[in-house]
């Protein structure tokens, strides 16, 4: 783990309790290999940070879009606080360089790491809130998430779920309603994996993988939009 003071300098936040910052960046798996660690893992901070994040984003959108109804604001917020977006933000602000993980988790750069990064970002928000207060954490969220990503969300219609967007584009452009078929599935009930294909007529446009059929469909639609250059 790199020197935490570098992390503080990066965001001009000087923690009163560096233990809070360290705990925010400590994954449960690290404690399994380091039972002598006096700090806990970051899940309680993640729980708090999730609520703080939702409040800050909600307040910002409420003030920024006085003409928008609740449904649209909810969609905007969901696009800003989903795990993929938060993982992308975490990567951009170099949380990866500071995470405390088990050796096994440190090697895994797949979907599991995405959730770990998203959760660590929420835990970091919880830590900043406890240590520095609401105004500081609000500025942090505005800088690294809302100001940085809201324009992208609106311009690329990321507030629409991929399936809805792919269907709209397919019907408008080629007059076909997409269909989805499970191509492969494996794993025990508690750890299922599905590969789902999205089709336009007989054309297989893209394949998506996920832990449920719904997740596989959404990933297939997202990749289908990319494959077609739509949206």
Residue of 46, 50, 105, 169 with catalytic role: 50
What is the number of other CB atoms lying within 10 angstroms of the CB of residue 28? Answer: 15
Place of tokens 């975490």: 90
Residue of 46, 88, 105, 122 with catalytic role: 122
Q: Are 180 and 200 in contact (CB under 8 A)?
A: no
Rounded to the nearest 5°, which phi and psi values hold at 65?
-125, 70
DSSP 8-state secondary structure symbol assigned to residue 100: B
Identify the helix (H) or strand (E) that includes residue 55.
helix 43-64
Nearest by Cα to 64 from 154, 161, 157: 154
- Please confirm, yes or no, whether 122 is among the known catalytic residues: yes
Q: Using alpha carbons only, what angle is made at residue 115 by residues 110 and 120, rounded to the nearest 5 degrees?
A: 125
Nearest by Cα to 90 from 23, 7, 31, 151: 7
- Please confirm, yes or no, whether 50 is among the known catalytic residues: yes
Residues catalogued as catalytic: 50, 122
């Amino acid at each position: 783990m790199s020197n935490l003071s570098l992390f503080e300098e990066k965001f001009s936040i000087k923690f009163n309790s560096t233990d809070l910052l360290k705990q925010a960046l400590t994954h449960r798996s690290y404690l399994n290999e380091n039972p002598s660690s006096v700090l806990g893992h970051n899940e309680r901070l993640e729980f708090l940070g999730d609520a703080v994040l939702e409040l800050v984003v909600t307040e910002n959108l409420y003030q920024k879009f006085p003409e928008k109804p609740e449904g649209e604001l909810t969609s905007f917020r969901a696009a800003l606080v989903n795990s993929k977006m938060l993982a992308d933000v975490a990567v951009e602000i170099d949380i990866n360089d500071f995470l405390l993980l088990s050796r096994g988790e440190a090697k895994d750069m797949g979907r599991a790491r995405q959730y770990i990064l998203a959760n660590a970002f929420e835990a970091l928000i919880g830590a900043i809130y406890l240590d520095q207060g609401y105004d500081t954490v609000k500025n942090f969220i505005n800088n690294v998430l809302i100001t940085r990503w809201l324009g992208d969300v609106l311009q690329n219609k990321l507030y629409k779920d991929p399936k809805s967007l792919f269907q709209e584009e397919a019907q408008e452009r080629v007059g076909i309603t997409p269909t989805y078929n499970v191509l492969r599935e494996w794993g025990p009930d508690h750890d299922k994996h599905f590969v789902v294909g999205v089709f336009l007529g007989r054309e297989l446009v893209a394949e998506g993988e996920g832990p449920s059929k719904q997740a596989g469909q959404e990933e297939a639609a997202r990749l289908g939009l990319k494959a077609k250059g739509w949206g």
